[in-house]
Amino acid sequence: MSTRPSVPTESGQSSGEPATSRRVLRWAGRLGFALVGAALGVLLAGRITAPIGPFVTTVSLTLGGGGGAEVSIPPLGALSVDAFDGPVRVGVTLQRVDQARIEAIVRDPTALDGIGEEVAADLQSAIITLLIRSGLAAIAGAAVLSLLVFRHPREPFIAAGLSVTILLTTAGIARVTWRPEALTSPTYSGLLVNANTLIGSATDLATKFDDYRRSLEKLVTNVSNLYAAVQTLPAFEEGADTVRLLHVSDLHLNPTASDLIASIADQFGVDAVIDTGDITDFGSEPETQYVDGIGDLDVPYLYVRGNHDSARTEATVATQPNAIVLDGSGTTLLGLDIVGIGDPRFTPDQSTRDDEAGDEVVDAGEDLLAFIEDQPIRPDIALVHDPVSATPLDGEVPLVLAGHLHERVTGELDGGTLLLVQGSTGGAAFAGCRARSRPR
C-alpha cells in the first residue's frame, strides 16, 4: 500500500504544513496556559507562616524581581540578597515575636550563642516546605486551568508535565547562578542602611564574633521590644471615617528620622504627619537642608515651630509641597479642624530650663485660645511645642499634642482636655553633647 504524497498548493506549500502549524500553535497554547496556571497556583499558595529563631514570619515566593531574596523588618526596612537569578524571588517578612522564646533569651543571653544555627535551620526548613507547597500548587494550577480551557481528560496530564519542566528549569537557573558570596554583602533599605556600619560586614564576623554576638543580642532585643509594643496597642474597628495621624516631635537633626517616619507612615497607612517642633538644633542656614525629607513623604505634614527652630527653619518647612505650617492659625485636614502655634522662644543655646518656662510660653497658649474663640467652631486638635502652652487651652479643645520634654507623657488636664506629649524622635543630637546639667 502506497502513501499519498502531499499536494503542493497554489502558493507552493504542501497541504501538510497547516497541520504542523496547528500542532505548534496547540503546544504553544498548552505551554502558555500551563505557565498561567502555575503562576496562579504560586500566587494563591506560595506563602506560609513559619517560626524563624525568636520571630514568627511569613515566607513567600513572588513572581518576578529577577531572583534573589529579601528580608523585611517593618517598619525598620529590609535587606536584599542577590544570591541567584530566575523568575521567582524569596521573601521573608517578620510579623511578630515569639514572646516565650524572647523571654528565654533575655533571662539567659548565652542562648544567643546558638541562635545563628537555629535561625539557619528554621529558615532552611521553612523554604523547603514553601518550595514543596508552591511546586504542588503550580502543578495543580496548571492542570486545572488546562482542563477548563481544553476540556479533554489528557490535557491536565500534559499541563502537569509542562509545569514540572518549568519548575525544574527555574530550579536549574537558580542552581547555575547561585552566588553564595552575595550573602556577605546584602543591600539594606530604610533604617537598616546603617546596619553595616553598626555591626560590620559579614566577612569580619570570624575575627569580631564577640562584638557581633553582643550586637545581635541588642538587635534581637530591640526588634523584639518593638514588636511586643505593637502587639499591645489597643485594637479598634476601623471605619470609613477613620483618620490615622503620626505624631512626631524633637527630631533634632536625627539623620534616620525621615526614613523612620516614611517607613512607619507606609507600614501603618498613615494619613498625615504632625510635628510639634524642634526639627533642628540651632536653626541655622545649613540645617535647613535637613527638612527636605518632608517633601518626600506622600502625606500632608503639619508643623509648629519649636524653641530650637528659627524663623528660617519655619519658612523652609513652609516651602515643602506637602507641608502646612501653623503659627496662631488653623486648617481643616481630612475632616479634622486643627489649630497650632509655634514656640515663642528661640533658645538654641539651651538657656531656658524646663522648670523655668517664662510667661511667654503661657501667653502663646493664650494667643492660640484667642484665635480659637474667633472661629465659628471649636477645633478637634491643638498643636503646641511646650506642654506649658496647653494650660490656657484646657477645656477648650478635646486634644492637645506637644513635645519638648523628650519623654512621652499622656494625661488629662483638669478641664478634661487630653494632653499627649511625644518623646524625642531624634534624641538630643548635637545639642546632647553638652553637659547633662544644661536645660533643653
Rg for the chain (alpha carbons), in Å?
A: 30
Give Cα 122 distance to the centre of its chain. 24
Picking from 130, 113, 131, 135, the residue whose alpha carbon sits closest to that of residue 57 is 130
> Cα separations (Å) of 3 from 6, 18, 23, 71?
9, 19, 21, 64
Tens of each residue's pLDDT in the chain, 440 residues: 445 555 454 444 555 577 888 888 889 988 999 999 989 998 999 899 998 877 889 999 988 778 888 888 776 678 888 888 988 999 998 887 776 776 666 566 566 666 667 777 888 899 899 999 999 999 999 999 999 998 889 999 999 999 999 999 999 998 899 888 887 778 877 666 655 554 444 444 444 445 555 555 566 666 666 666 666 666 656 666 789 999 999 998 887 788 888 888 887 889 999 999 999 988 888 888 889 889 989 999 999 999 999 999 999 999 999 999 999 999 999 999 999 999 999 988 765 554 455 789 999 999 999 999 999 999 999 999 999 999 999 999 999 999 999 888 999 999 999 999 998 876 544 454 444 333 45
What lies within 8 Å, CB to CB, of 272 at 6+ separation is: 243, 245, 246, 299, 300, 301, 302, 333, 334
| Three cell numbers written together for 241 | 471615617
Domains observed in the chain: 27-191 (no CATH), 243-433 (3.60.21.10)
pLDDT at position 266 is 84
Rounded Cα–Cα distance for residues 309 and 279 (Å): 7
Task: Residue 59: count other Cβ atoms within 10 Å of its Cβ.
Answer: 23
DSSP state letter for 432: G
Peptide bond into 75 cis (omega under 30): yes
State the Cα angle at 89 between 88 and 91, rounded to 5°: 145
DSSP, collapsed to helix, strand or coil, labels residue 86 as: coil
pLDDT at position 54 is 78
Burial class of residue 232 in the structure, from the number of CB atoms within 10 Å of its CB (0-12 exposed, 13-18 middle, 19+ buried): exposed
H helices of 47-114, in order, are 99-107
Does the pTM of the predicted model rise above 0.75? no
DSSP, collapsed to helix, strand or coil, labels residue 244 as: coil
